[in-house]
Amino acid sequence: MLIKKTKIADCFVINAKKTFDSRGYFQRIFCNKEIKFKTKQVNISSNYKKGTLRGFHYQKLPSKENKIITCISGEIFNVVVDMRVGSKTYKKIFSIKLCEKDNKMLKIPAGCANCFLTLEKNTKILYFMEDFYKPQKNIGFNYRSFDSAIKWPHAIKVINQKDYKLPKLLRVNNKPNSQ
* CB-based contact 129:20 (threshold 8 Å): no
22 in a structural domain: no
Q: Which long-range contacts (CB under 8 A, 24 or more apart) does 23-28 make?
A: 27/103, 28/1
115 in a structural domain: yes
Which secondary-structure segment (H or E) carries 164?
helix 161-164
Q: Report how many domains make up the chain.
A: 1
Percent of the chain with pLDDT over 70: 94
26 in a structural domain: no
34 in a structural domain: no
- Look at residue 28 in the predicted model and tell me its pLDDT: 87
- Look at residue 83 in the predicted model and tell me its pLDDT: 95
E-assigned strands of the chain?
A: 2-5, 12-15, 18-21, 24-27, 41-47, 53-59, 67-73, 75-82, 93-99, 104-108, 112-118, 123-129, 138-140, 177-178
The one-character DSSP state at 175 is P
- Look at residue 27 in the predicted model and tell me its pLDDT: 86
Which tens digit of pLDDT belongs to each residue from 61-114? 888 899 999 999 999 999 999 999 999 999 999 999 999 999 899 999 999 999
32 in a structural domain: no
Instruction: Specify the CATH number for the domain of residue 156.
Output: 2.60.120.10
Of 48-57, 109-118, 139-148, give the lowest mean pLDDT range. 139-148
128 in a structural domain: yes
pTM, to two decimals: 0.90
Residue 43 has pLDDT above 80, yes or no: yes
Residue 46 has pLDDT above 80, yes or no: yes
Q: Which domain holds residue 141?
A: 2-17+39-178
